[in-house]
Amino acid sequence: MSQIATLEVNGKKYEFPILEGTENELAIDIKTLRGVTEGVTTIDAGFKNTGSCKSAITFLDGEKGILRYRGYAIEELADKADFLETSYLLIFGELPTEAELQKFHDDILEESLVDEEMKKILDGFPKSAHPMGVLSALTSALIAFNPESVNADSKEEMYSAIVKIMAKFPVLAAWTLRKKTGLPLDYGDKHLGYVQNLYKMMFNKPNDEFKINPIVLNALDKLLILHADHEQNCSTSTVRIVGSSHAGLFASISAGISALWGPLHGGANQAVIEMLEDIKNDGGDYHKYLAKAKDKSDPFRLMGFGHRVYKNFDPRAKIIQVAAEEVLADLGIVDPVLDIARGLSEEALKDEYFKSRNLYPNVDFYSGIIYRALGIPVEMFTVMFAIGRLPGWIAQWKEMRENHEPIGRPRQLYVGKTLRGFVPIEKR
Ligand code: SDX
Q: Is 355 in the pocket of ligand 1 (CB under 6 A)?
A: no
pLDDT at 123: 96
What gap in Å lies between CA 269 and CA 378, rounded to an integer?
8
Q: How many residues comprise the chain?
A: 428
pLDDT at 419: 98
pLDDT at 221: 97
Q: Is 316 in the pocket of ligand 1 (CB under 6 A)?
A: no
Give the angle subtended at the CA of 402 by the CAs of 398 and 403, to the nearest 5°: 115
Looking at the DSSP bridge assignments, the partners of residue 13 are 8
Number of helices followed by number of strands (H, E) in the chain: 18, 6
Is-contact 29 16, C-beta < 8 A? yes
Give per-residue pLDDT as tens, 186-223: 999 999 999 999 999 999 999 999 999 999 999 999 99
Q: Which of 359, 382, 387, 390 to mutate to test the pocket of ligand 1 (most atoms within 8 A of CB)?
A: 359
Ligand 1 mean position to 362 CA, how many Å? 9
Residue nearest to atom 15 of ligand 1 (CA): 265
If pLDDT is split at 50, 70 and 90, which confidence band does 16 have?
very high
Query: Looking at the whole model, is its pTM more than 0.75?
Result: yes
Ligand 1 mean position to 309 CA, how many Å? 9
DSSP string, 151-214: --SSHHHHHHHHHHHHHHHHHHHHHHHHHHHTPPP----TTS-HHHHHHHHHH--TTS-----H
What is the average pLDDT value for the chain, to the nearest integer? 96
What gap in Å lies between CA 371 and CA 58, rounded to an integer?
25
Which atom number of ligand 1 is nearest to the Cα of residue 357? 47
Ligand 1 mean position to 264 CA, how many Å? 7
Among 295, 296, 316, CA closest to 307: 316
* Residue 381 dihedral angles phi and psi, to the nearest 5°: -60, -45
- The SS3 of residue 420 is coil
* Active site (catalytic) residues: 307, 364
If pLDDT is split at 50, 70 and 90, which confidence band does 294 have?
very high
Which atom number of ligand 1 is nearest to the Cα of residue 307? 28
User: Is the pLDDT assigned to residue 271 strictly greater than 90?
Assistant: yes
- The SS3 of residue 15 is strand
pLDDT at 2: 82
Give per-residue pLDDT as tens, 383-402: 999 999 999 999 999 999 99
Question: How distant, in Å, are the alpha carbons of 58, 272, 324, 386 from that of 372?
Answer: 29, 12, 10, 17
Task: List all residues 6 or more positions away from 255 whose beta carbon is below 8 Å from its beta carbon.
Answer: 136, 238, 239, 242
User: Is the pLDDT assigned to residue 1 strictly greater than 80?
Assistant: no
If pLDDT is split at 50, 70 and 90, which confidence band does 78 have?
very high
Q: Which of 318, 357, 365 to mutate to test the pocket of ligand 1 (most atoms within 8 A of CB)?
A: 357
Percent of the chain at pLDDT above 70?
A: 100
Which atom number of ligand 1 is nearest to the Cα of residue 235? 9
If pLDDT is split at 50, 70 and 90, which confidence band does 312 have?
confident
Q: Is 268 in the pocket of ligand 1 (CB under 6 A)?
A: yes
pLDDT at 328: 93
CA 338 to chain centre: 24
Which atom number of ligand 1 is nearest to the Cα of residue 231? 4
Ligand 1 mean position to 306 CA, how many Å? 4
Is-contact 168 112, C-beta < 8 A? yes
Ligand 1 mean position to 42 CA, how many Å? 23
